[in-house]
C-alpha cells in the first residue's frame, strides 16, 4: 500500500528579512554596474551574481512567489 502525498501550498509571502542572505560577501563587488531591475548603478549582486539592489531583487522574488501562488490556486501549475 502506498502513502498518498498532499501538495503543499506555496508560501503566501516572503519572510520579513527576505530570502537572500545579503551579509554574505559574495553579494558585494567593487565594480558598479547597472541594476538588472531598475538600471541604477549598484555594487550589490544577487544570488546569481547579477547586479541588483537588495530592494529590487527582493521585490522581484516576492512577485515570483505571488505569481506561483496564483498559478497554484488556479490549477495552472
pLDDT for position 13:
58
Residue 50 falls inside a structural domain: yes
The answer to whether position 44 is within a domain reads yes
pLDDT of 16? 64
What is the pLDDT, as a whole number, of residue 75? Answer: 73
Query: What domain range is 40 assigned to?
Result: 25-74
* CB crowding 37-52: b at 16 or more within 10 Å, else e: beeeebebbbeeeebb
Mean of the pLDDT values across residues 20-43? Answer: 91
- Say if 70 falls within a structural domain: yes
Specify if 1 maps to a domain.
no
Number of domains composing the chain:
1
User: Does residue 40 lie within any of the structural domains?
Assistant: yes
Q: Does residue 10 lie in a domain region? A: no
Q: Does residue 41 lie within any of the structural domains?
A: yes
Please report which residue ranges of 1-77 form alpha helices under DSSP H. Answer: 54-74
- 3-state SS of the chain: helix, strand, coil percent to 5? 30, 15, 50
Amino acid at each position: 500500500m502506498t502513502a498518498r502525498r498532499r501538495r503543499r501550498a506555496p508560501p503566501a509571502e516572503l519572510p520579513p528579512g527576505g530570502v537572500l542572505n545579503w551579509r554574505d560577501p559574495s553579494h558585494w563587488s567593487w565594480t558598479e554596474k547597472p541594476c538588472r531591475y531598475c538600471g541604477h548603478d549598484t555594487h550589490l549582486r544577487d544570488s546569481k551574481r547579477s547586479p541588483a539592489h537588495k530592494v529590487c531583487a527582493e521585490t522581484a522574488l516576492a512577485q515570483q512567489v505571488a505569481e506561483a501562488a496564483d498559478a497554484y490556486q488556479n490549477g495552472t501549475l
